[in-house]
Amino acid sequence: MKKKIVFIQSYERFPDFRIYREVEIFKGFDVDIHVIVWQRTDDGKYIDDNTDVDLHIIKILSEHGMSGLQHLKYQPIFYKKVYALLKEIKPDLIVAHNFDTMVPSALYKLVKTVPVIYVSREPFNKVFRIKFKSVVGEWVGWLLDAILAHIASVVFAVTPKMMRMYQHMVVKAQFIPNAPLEIFYKEALEKTKRNEIVLGFIGNIRESLSIKMVWKAIQILNKKDKIRFKLLLCGVVLSGMEEVINEMQREDCDSLQLIAPVTPDKVAVLYKDVDIAFILPEGSNVKFKGYGVHVKLYESLATGTPAIINKFGENAKLLENTDCVIVLDEMKMDNLVEGIELLAADAKKRVQMGKLGKEFIKSKFNWNLFKDEYQKTVEKLL
């Protein structure tokens, strides 16, 4: 009888590129693969059928980027439905992507003694601090995450910062980074030739990304410089940013391009139209969770796109000696404008930085460097 592997994720994107690559590893094995996803909208617009897996969709209508109260309302429903599916499927191995899916998985492991891999994709102490707007939330999140990590059979952490976090929890995690898809660094992407410099961010458009500051810098540059500057944003506009985007469009619609969200496999080509990427989380780690934007940095560098970043999170420490980014020590308008002008004035410098960024990502965050370790870990657990 075939063994069963269940992958669980708490948002409605399948094939999600991380889970898709993990699923691909085991399609050649004599196993049945099940994927559980949470459908949050009526149309389930991110969910595609996949004939190689048994897809189980839990439909609970809710908002993306839920508040703390919404988490308390909807998560228990999700946990209950996931646990019921696990009892029905009777898996031999569970791969729980992120904290939300680890809760019912840990309970099932304790009851049924089934091995569980915890793929930790987000520092939930910061999530709890943000969602519940209290330092107490951060302590609670840290404690709960530590408990779940110790229950897990194996913990995979996706960033070096998260590896350090689990070391503090006395958890022996394995580093399996959320590397860009092959298409991002498979070949150099030549930039579209045009008479303007495009600053871009491709990912969820949220308040804590300094988008308003970048927009003001572009307005300053367009008044003082002969070069024309433009802002490109591509992604879901999250709550709180809708009016900001509308105001930007009213102010100067010619300098802003907003593209509807696309699936991960279509993102790489968009970087042909980006001369300079920006990864500028605001404030401190209290405001900034630190996972998703790091992935966006890896993706932009993998396409040969130089980036302007700041010191928050772990980006600066990772990249300070690579010469593929400009690091802003202080988030001041003068510093940002100066950094943009430095890159805008020198096309050769942008190309050279892009090459160095691509080499760095390919040598450090290439999925091919880690998939054998992932496979061996799963084989041992099975």
- In order along its 382 residues, the chain shows pLDDT tens digits of 889 999 999 888 777 788 888 988 888 788 999 999 999 888 887 787 777 899 999 999 987 767 778 888 999 999 999 999 999 999 999 999 989 999 999 999 999 999 999 999 877 767 766 666 777 877 888 899 999 999 999 999 988 888 988 999 999 999 998 888 888 887 767 888 888 999 999 988 887 788 999 999 999 999 986 889 999 999 878 777 888 999 999 999 999 999 977 777 778 899 999 999 998 887 654 455 555 567 888 899 999 999 999 877 556 667 777 889 998 888 899 999 999 999 999 999 999 999 999 999 888 888 889 999 999 999 899 8
Fill in the DSSP letter of residue 211. Answer: H
Three-state SS sequence of 135-197? HHHHHHHHHHHHHHHHHCCEEEECCHHHHHHHHHCCCCCEECCCCCCHHHHCCCCCCCCCCCE
| Same-domain check for residues 124 and 136 | yes
Fill in the DSSP letter of residue 239. Answer: T
| Same-domain check for residues 339 and 217 | yes
Give residue 81's pLDDT. Answer: 98
Q: For 93-118, write each residue's pLDDT tens digit.
A: 999 998 999 999 999 999 999 999 99
Torsion of the alpha carbons at 98, 100, 102 and 106, rounded to the nearest 10: 170
Give residue 322's pLDDT. Answer: 82
* Domain boundaries, position 299: 183-364
Number of domains in the chain: 2
| Same-domain check for residues 95 and 19 | yes
| Same-domain check for residues 170 and 217 | no
Q: Are 31 and 2 in contact (CB under 8 A)?
A: yes
Distance CA 253, CA 199 (A): 15
Distance CA 116, CA 12 (A): 21
Give residue 271's pLDDT. Answer: 93
| Same-domain check for residues 58 and 135 | yes
Whether this prediction's pTM lies above 0.75 is answered by: yes
Q: For 65-76, write each residue's pLDDT tens digit.
A: 677 788 889 999
According to DSSP, the residues that pair with 325 across neighbouring strands are 307
Distance CA 220, CA 325 (A): 22
Distance CA 6, CA 18 (A): 14
Give residue 286's pLDDT. Answer: 47
| Same-domain check for residues 342 and 374 | no
Cα maximum dimension of the chain = 71
| Same-domain check for residues 121 and 257 | no
User: How many Cα atoms occupy the beta-carbon half-sphere of 307 within 13 Å?
Assistant: 29
Contacts of 92 (CB under 8 A, 6+ apart): 3, 4, 5, 114, 115, 382
| Same-domain check for residues 376 and 304 | no
CATH number, residue 93: 3.40.50.2000
| Same-domain check for residues 53 and 147 | yes
| Same-domain check for residues 127 and 189 | no
Three-state SS sequence of 9-41? CCCCCECCHHHHHHHHHHCCCCEEEEEEEEECC
